[in-house]
Structure 1
Amino acid sequence: MYPDGTRRIRITVNGIVQGVGFRPFVYRLACTRSIQGFIRNTPSGVVIEAQGPGETLEGFLTEIERHPPPLARITALETVSVSCEPCSCFEIDLSVHGHEVETLIPPDIALCESCRSELFDSRNRRFRYPFINCTDCGPRYTIVESIPYDRPFTSMKGFPLCPDCAEEYRDPLDRRFHAQPNACPVCGPAVMLLDSFGNRLAADRVIREASAMLKAGKIVAVKGVGGFHLAVDARNGSAVQRLRDQKAREEKPFAVMMRDLASVRQICVVGSDEAAALRSAEAPIMLLEKSAGFPLPEIIAPGNDRLGVMLPYSPLHALLLEEGPDMVVMTSANCSDEPVLHDDADAVRRLVGIADAFLVHNRPILQKCDDSVAIHLSGALRLFRRSRGYVPAPVLLDEDGPPLLATGGELKNTLCLLHGRNAILSQHLGDMKNFETWQFFTDAARHLQELFRASPELVVHDLHPDYLTTRWASMQPLPLLGVQHHHAHLAACLAENGEHSPVIGLVLDGTGYGPDGTIWGGEVLIGDCAGVERFASLEAMPLPGGDAAILEPWRAALGYLYRSCPEIPYLPFLRDFMSNEVTELLVRNLHCPETSSCGRLFDVVAAVAGLRNRVFYEGQSAVELMQAAGGRLGSGRFSSGVEVRDGRLVMLVAPLVRDVASAVGDGMLPGEISRRFHRTLCDMLLDVTRRASSASGICTVALSGGVFQNSLLFETLVAELQASGYMVLTHTAVPCNDGGISLGQAVIGREYLKGKYGGVVGNG
């Protein structure tokens, strides 16, 4: 019946293969090779049945594996032989719905060059249409209700396609074939301009009017892809200051959206890798070095030699900056530590008194998603915040296993759902300190499980009993596992690097609950995802007032000086403070938790050096101490040492603190103090790494924890460890800060379900 050699195979493809032009790519490939059969989306993946001569099928399969569409990401591809069937062509079938979900939702994708060209082409029917998109760009995750990723299951279901858009949508040879957000001015979403009280303003050209407001120094709340931004002209210092005052954001740096790469080069130093990241489909905020003679108001990013920069990633942003200022501060529209706002009515209610106007649209945002933040260090892009553009693309694991959910930590929270080999991290949820973030967290946990129809067998949480994430976990009708914070950091680094052997982990951050009841944060661990030994740590010091000492580092500095010096020296940084009450706490050992935190050590040195006594955002002291070094280490160093205490090595902090205090008394400038401090800390870590390697025979070192956001420390330590012969594992797929620990918790949970979990030993 069939010519000799004709075969039929069924191909199941998993990964990001829906909403990225995968089906039309396969359709065109099949047609050019005269292959018969079909392709369809299913909850278990994209299924292809292809029929033709054996050699032709092999070439067809090779092309799919090696040269998929640019935004597709194949995580698994399986083939089986099936019986041949009568057919004469290749077709794209309707999607099939079921229970088990294997396909993945693509992230929100920045405006592609083809759509950008059409956006500004007066002959195109989508000329200046702020919602132009195609299969290569546009919103994805933020408009998804459920899968398969088809229009009826997105926020576009309320916008029936007009005949022209419907024809594009149905044509496999069209660039907009099954582009779910496809729309035009006739049938799609529209923009509106509201006054400060939410009343609609009459305007012939809404975006032009909003642009004019920005030029006039007004604050405009702009509804984007994943939520609202508050926008002002970045060149207008008084407007930027007014935004700071209105939002009560005293000193935390703002991000700036710039019209194009040429504009960015006027303001910042841009390398080729950084330029590629800015123009990538993910389009993160990039932390770039400010150029000499930085021409923007210093209050945009005070005390910082870097500026967060992004390019317009949506057509609405591109139009706004084309008509308005070429550089616009774009900061997340939220109140205090709450999540980004995404609902029109809620935004108007919460931003009364802040925004002068609201540029909104009627396409609902179903999943709010803040901007991602990245930096280029040691030859790779490093994420400081993983959100829009990256979520929910998975971190691919080496092994399959049962589903489970990890709840992350208290700060920079993310969730992680393990589903097969896919580690699916949520978007950045924020700091778990208020009801709004708690609600965002609970909604995200529910959405992840419903979207991927996963039933976790285990919930993994941080050991800290008072974290809201721990409390949420305890409310679930599922088995629980508490995981030590720094073990989770290390496991996250191992998971994203595909490393299964034991390593030496240098885990440095601000806060993590230790099994011994102290606050950890300067840890040297030896082990793997199943268990670790606490080989060494920074010397524990008192933190008078607990959390109060984090917000006011002078308190921490007083505690470290009390423990380190025979008598507390009277240094300039103490002149403005009533220190007697804090000293009394230290003398009586009341509310003075012990901490080995490396983050707090940075705070202390910054305070003693006279750089920062109060902080207005997390890590401010450490940032300013790093800035003071001017990008280089000192040739001199402060005292340090190592002792054995309670069965582990302790990196002594007291000698260093005494030396810093003496240097300040002798008139040493903060810049030189910072350079010597960074040199000393690097030397301490190199020394203890050598000791750990000698004791264990391990020559692989993993770096994790928020302290490694410090570019001077990170790049120096990576280079010097590699020069010493160590293999160094670092983060690129997830943040080194607490935004990545949910991944580590999750892979530790898998080890627990295998019966291999040993926890942390050497807690003393």
Structure 2
Amino acid sequence: MSLQRRHLTLSGIVQGVGFRPFVHRLAHELSLGGWVQNRSGQVQIEIEGLADTLDSFSLRLIKEAPPLAKPQILENARQAIAQSRRDFVILASHTEDAPDIHLPADTHLCADCRRELFDPANRRFRYPFINCTQCGPRYTLIAELPYDRERTSMASFPLCPACRAEYENPAERRFHAEPLACPVCGPQLRWHDETGEAALQAALSALREGQIIAVRGVGGYHLMCDARNATTVTRLRARKQRPARPFALLFDECGEDGNAMLNEYLSPNPGELTLLHSPQRPIVLIEACAHHALAAGIAPGMRRIGAMLPHSPLQALLAADFGAPLVATSGNLSGEPICLDPADAEARLGRIADGFLHHDRPILRPAEDSVWQCAATPMPIRLGRGEAPQEWQLPGRLAQPTLALGGEQKVCIALGWEDRAVISPHIGDLDHPESMAWLARVVADFSRLYRVTPERIALDAHPHYHGRQHALASTLPLHEVWHHHAHASALAAEYPQIKHWLTFTWDGVGLGPDGQLWGGEVLLGVPGHWRHVASLRPFRLPGGEAASRECWRSAAGLFWEAGLSCPPWHPQLELLRQAWQGGLNSPSTSAIGRLFDAAAAILGVCTQASFEGEAPMRLQALAESLSEGPLWPTHWQTEAGLWLLDWRAWLAGLSDLQIPVAARAWALHDALARAAAELIFLLAVPGETAIGGCGGVFQNRLLTERLQDHLGARPLLLPQRQPPNDAGLALGQLMEILAKDCA
């Protein structure tokens, strides 16, 4: 049998995921000699032995790779040799190659480390920073690649002899685990003057006393309190200036299947349980049990509660020791970015938190919790810790490195070059100065980490979105992308095999090419070539932007557009009507999101929203209490070649006090779904054209379920990797630019 030397180059997620130790173990198992080395984003392997054994090595390299790794063999060069070496080593990392950077995400506490965490005989018993090659922080502590300890925020924590022995032992699962630490040499907790276990116990005592505490985690601070204590939850809402937006809850992973505590309060379906226990450990929206002991203020007016299981050892200790659900909400004032370091947290959260559980492991960049829901299929709502940065292979090559800035709310940026794109974690809404500072920081961070300098910027066409300020300051060429074209193109990126689309792009509002505030549009085509074929009949919004929170304004606009009077929602309603009649600050919109706002106000569900999307969420929760309801008429008509969905026939039903509120809410959802299905028939859409849904409205589970029911066997394609809301705009903007580059 011939001897060979093979040189393999691997790309993908191969750093920060235990890949080199895995290669080392596999080579020793097969008695092969050579070396493995981290390069600038890649892994290089030179390996020698019998040809058949090397074939097996190459196959197992992919098939048996660590769970977090996603390797791709780019090169497998072969050379005949007369004699092979027997030793196999991990070489020091090399940093001078052309970069091929793939950043790993932070990963939840693995089962092995969890067992050790709660094992009194283990030297890391109750150590809140336990980790190994298969778990722990990555994205939030990597300063740059190649991934070695000296290029992470753990560089300031020298390994003790015991940890050094584990780090250098190929038989150990902590072999080359870069965040490796123990109570002797690693980071420590702090609560006032207490450290370590004493600090943890002090924090737990504060929680048991009904206090609110700020806890420094993997990607920033959480505000925590007892989720059963109504007084404390009310106090947290007042201090955080968050009147109604639901709080996420942390549950202990206890019982035989890890769901014992969860099942006391919530009713998860199998898909939701799969998401909860996934390596990303996101927040998952789950229906609450009929009778539970949670405070009423956790999620006012909602049927579902955001739940997560512990993703870090510190969370595992807090959840297990407290023994009941904990509120675990972002450590910030509403609208601000999450706090990262102790000084910033105490300055910004000092009026919210009664105490602070700090630690001294530096957080290099923020990562808020990811949020998902699961109806027929899983759908992301927000991408953060454990999910991002998210990598995409584009269906073509960009002509220039491109930065995409997304929109105004739920902002994520995208950096695209060649046929690659990376999407940042959630940054937030840009109407706050702190968020603009974070935007600039994330842009600079991505450019440095991936060693890609943008040469142009893609941005939303709206002239007043705050991201434009950053774009103009860059002096780079700007390429405007229409809001709903970006939504549709983001969906198309998820299904590259689809050649033609009919896409419902329904959301709050976004500027359309005709100068109107779109949001109930139907687009036909492909990225770069969308044709506007249908829309909700426009109506004018009295007060313009104020209608985004004052839902009664959208309702008044509907009534006045239909020639009807409306309830006395405001003491100066007549003056407002006169301004509306005169066209003063009354922009025209076709947004389904504003239609939902109006319906919520008419039904008395929500006349003034305290957070974006509150009114539609409350309306959906009401409607989901029923399985059927009235069937309202639907009416499409054409004007100037555009199909318009007429909402006027629904005003009577929405206003009918003889019909229960929940039934009216259900009827609106069903009527919209039936109308969408009817449009496909009216347009004679051929079977090979895919039907898609995107925009924030398609987070509405009831609407998507009703639409799929009315479509029958024809599938409704929805986002599965990127959120349907404005978080997906940056990817869609890249797709639009790519289409022009490839034209």
Is the shorter-chain TM-score for this pair beyond 0.5, marking a shared fold? Answer: yes
Residue in structure 1 matched with residue 546 of structure 2 by the alignment: 548
Residue in structure 1 matched with residue 606 of structure 2 by the alignment: 612
Residue in structure 2 matched with residue 255 of structure 1 by the alignment: 248
**One-letter identity of the residue aligned with 2:618:** E
Q: 1: distance between equivalents of 2:215 and 2:697? A: 33
Residue in structure 2 matched with residue 472 of structure 1 by the alignment: 470
Q: Which moved more, 1:590-599 or 1:683-692?
A: 683-692
In structure 2, the CA distance between the partners of 1:616 and 1:575, relative to structure 1 (3 Å rule), is closer
Q: 1: distance between equivalents of 2:317 and 2:195? A: 19
Residue in structure 1 matched with residue 643 of structure 2 by the alignment: 649
* Gapped regions of structure 1 (runs ≥ 5): 195-199, 757-764
- 3-state SS of the aligned residue for 1:599? helix
Residue in structure 2 matched with residue 527 of structure 1 by the alignment: 525
Compute the displacement of 1:690 (Å): 2.3
Residue in structure 2 matched with residue 164 of structure 1 by the alignment: 162
**One-letter identity of the residue aligned with 1:374:** W
Q: 1: distance between equivalents of 2:607 and 2:572? A: 13
Q: 2: distance between equivalents of 1:13 and 1:622? A: 47
Q: Please say if residues 75 and 396 of structure 1, whose CA atoms lie closer than 8 Å, have aligned partners that are also in contact.
A: no
Residue in structure 2 matched with residue 637 of structure 1 by the alignment: 631
Q: 2: distance between equivalents of 1:693 and 1:371? A: 43
Q: 2: distance between equivalents of 1:25 and 1:697? A: 47
Q: Please say if residues 404 and 457 of structure 1, whose CA atoms lie closer than 8 Å, have aligned partners that are also in contact.
A: yes
Compute the displacement of 1:30 (Å): 1.4
**One-letter identity of the residue aligned with 2:671:** T
Residue deviations 1:504-551 (CA, integer Å, cap 9, x gap): 011110011111111000010011112200011111110111111111
Q: 1: distance between equivalents of 2:227 and 2:629? A: 39
Residue deviations 1:680-704 (CA, integer Å, cap 9, x gap): 101111111223343x665311111
Compute the displacement of 1:238 (Å): 0.8
Residue in structure 2 matched with residue 405 of structure 1 by the alignment: 403
Residue deviations 1:576-626 (CA, integer Å, cap 9, x gap): 643112211222111100000010000111111121100011111101111
Residue deviations 1:287-320 (CA, integer Å, cap 9, x gap): 0000111221111111000011111111111112
- Equivalent of residue 701 in structure 1, options 679, 691, 694: 691
Identity in percent: 38
Residue deviations 1:28-87 (CA, integer Å, cap 9, x gap): 111222222211110141111222222222111111122211111125543223464853
Residue in structure 2 matched with residue 762 of structure 1 by the alignment: none
Residue in structure 2 matched with residue 759 of structure 1 by the alignment: none
Once the two structures are superposed, the pairs formed by residues 311-322 of structure 1 within 5 Å of their partners are 311-322=309-320
Q: Which moved more, 1:446-455 or 1:35-44?
A: 35-44
Q: 2: distance between equivalents of 1:601 and 1:149? A: 50
Q: 2: distance between equivalents of 1:633 and 1:396? A: 41
Q: Which moved more, 1:643-652 or 1:106-115?
A: 643-652
Is 2:488 aligned against 1:490? yes
Q: 2: distance between equivalents of 1:693 and 1:17? A: 48
**One-letter identity of the residue aligned with 1:285:** I
Is 2:730 aligned against 1:733? no
Residue in structure 2 matched with residue 284 of structure 1 by the alignment: 282
Residue deviations 1:475-505 (CA, integer Å, cap 9, x gap): 2233321111111111111112223512101
Q: Please say if residues 670 and 706 of structure 2, whose CA atoms lie closer than 8 Å, have aligned partners that are also in contact.
A: no
Compute the displacement of 1:461 (Å): 0.6
In structure 2, the CA distance between the partners of 1:655 and 1:442, relative to structure 1 (3 Å rule), is same
Q: Please say if residues 673 and 704 of structure 2, whose CA atoms lie closer than 8 Å, have aligned partners that are also in contact.
A: no
Q: Please say if residues 600 and 615 of structure 2, whose CA atoms lie closer than 8 Å, have aligned partners that are also in contact.
A: yes
Compute the displacement of 1:174 (Å): 1.2
Residue in structure 2 matched with residue 710 of structure 1 by the alignment: 700
Once the two structures are superposed, the pairs formed by residues 444-459 of structure 1 within 5 Å of their partners are 444-459=442-457
Residue in structure 1 matched with residue 739 of structure 2 by the alignment: 751
Residue in structure 1 matched with residue 49 of structure 2 by the alignment: 52
**One-letter identity of the residue aligned with 1:601:** L
> Normalization by structure 1: what TM-score?
0.93
Residue in structure 2 matched with residue 25 of structure 1 by the alignment: 22
- 3-state SS of the aligned residue for 2:35? strand
Residue in structure 2 matched with residue 623 of structure 1 by the alignment: 617
Q: 2: distance between equivalents of 1:40 and 1:720? A: 55
**One-letter identity of the residue aligned with 2:582:** R
Residue in structure 1 matched with residue 220 of structure 2 by the alignment: 227
* Gapped regions of structure 2 (runs ≥ 5): 254-258
- 3-state SS of the aligned residue for 2:659? coil
Residue in structure 2 matched with residue 683 of structure 1 by the alignment: 674
Compute the displacement of 1:116 (Å): 0.7
Residue in structure 2 matched with residue 353 of structure 1 by the alignment: 351
Compute the displacement of 1:670 (Å): 1.1
Once the two structures are superposed, the pairs formed by residues 235-246 of structure 1 within 5 Å of their partners are 235-246=228-239
**One-letter identity of the residue aligned with 2:199:** V
Once the two structures are superposed, the pairs formed by residues 78-93 of structure 1 within 5 Å of their partners are 78-82=75-79, 84=81, 87-93=85-91
Q: Please say if residues 215 and 325 of structure 1, whose CA atoms lie closer than 8 Å, have aligned partners that are also in contact.
A: no
Compute the displacement of 1:126 (Å): 0.7
Compute the displacement of 1:474 (Å): 2.5
- 3-state SS of the aligned residue for 1:55? helix
Compute the displacement of 1:675 (Å): 1.3
**One-letter identity of the residue aligned with 1:751:** A
**One-letter identity of the residue aligned with 2:108:** A
Is 2:31 aligned against 1:34? yes
Q: Please say if residues 208 and 323 of structure 1, whose CA atoms lie closer than 8 Å, have aligned partners that are also in contact.
A: no
Q: Please say if residues 674 and 710 of structure 2, whose CA atoms lie closer than 8 Å, have aligned partners that are also in contact.
A: no
- 3-state SS of the aligned residue for 1:141? coil
Q: 1: distance between equivalents of 2:571 and 2:378? A: 42
**One-letter identity of the residue aligned with 1:39:** V
Residue in structure 2 matched with residue 692 of structure 1 by the alignment: 683
Once the two structures are superposed, the pairs formed by residues 554-573 of structure 1 within 5 Å of their partners are 554-565=552-563, 567-568=564-565, 570-571=566-567
- 3-state SS of the aligned residue for 2:78? strand
Q: 2: distance between equivalents of 1:54 and 1:83? A: 9
Q: Please say if residues 146 and 451 of structure 1, whose CA atoms lie closer than 8 Å, have aligned partners that are also in contact.
A: yes
Q: Please say if residues 10 and 74 of structure 2, whose CA atoms lie closer than 8 Å, have aligned partners that are also in contact.
A: yes
- 3-state SS of the aligned residue for 2:155? helix
Compute the displacement of 1:19 (Å): 1.4
Residue in structure 1 matched with residue 188 of structure 2 by the alignment: 190
In structure 2, the CA distance between the partners of 1:61 and 1:249, relative to structure 1 (3 Å rule), is same
Residue in structure 2 matched with residue 585 of structure 1 by the alignment: 579
Q: 1: distance between equivalents of 2:196 and 2:3? A: 64
Residue in structure 2 matched with residue 214 of structure 1 by the alignment: 207
The two structures, once aligned, show a CA RMSD in angstroms of 1.8
Residue deviations 1:163-190 (CA, integer Å, cap 9, x gap): 1111111222211112111001111100
Q: 1: distance between equivalents of 2:513 and 2:80? A: 60
Once the two structures are superposed, the pairs formed by residues 67-82 of structure 1 within 5 Å of their partners are 67-75=64-72, 77-82=74-79
Residue deviations 1:230-276 (CA, integer Å, cap 9, x gap): 11111111111111111111111111101122111100012233222
Q: 2: distance between equivalents of 1:44 and 1:338? A: 33
Compute the displacement of 1:657 (Å): 2.6
Once the two structures are superposed, the pairs formed by residues 323-362 of structure 1 within 5 Å of their partners are 323-362=321-360
In structure 2, the CA distance between the partners of 1:440 and 1:222, relative to structure 1 (3 Å rule), is same
Residue deviations 1:616-653 (CA, integer Å, cap 9, x gap): 11111101111111354545322331121122111112
**One-letter identity of the residue aligned with 1:219:** I
Residue in structure 2 matched with residue 197 of structure 1 by the alignment: none
**One-letter identity of the residue aligned with 2:2:** G
**One-letter identity of the residue aligned with 2:248:** A
- 3-state SS of the aligned residue for 2:683? helix
Residue in structure 1 matched with residue 304 of structure 2 by the alignment: 306
Residue in structure 2 matched with residue 64 of structure 1 by the alignment: 61
Residue in structure 1 matched with residue 94 of structure 2 by the alignment: 96
**One-letter identity of the residue aligned with 1:311:** L
Residue in structure 1 matched with residue 256 of structure 2 by the alignment: none
- 3-state SS of the aligned residue for 1:187? coil
Count of paired positions? 736
Q: 2: distance between equivalents of 1:336 and 1:631? A: 30
- 3-state SS of the aligned residue for 1:65? helix
Is 2:379 aligned against 1:382? yes
Q: 2: distance between equivalents of 1:409 and 1:164? A: 50
Residue in structure 2 matched with residue 510 of structure 1 by the alignment: 508
- 3-state SS of the aligned residue for 1:286? strand
**One-letter identity of the residue aligned with 2:740:** Y
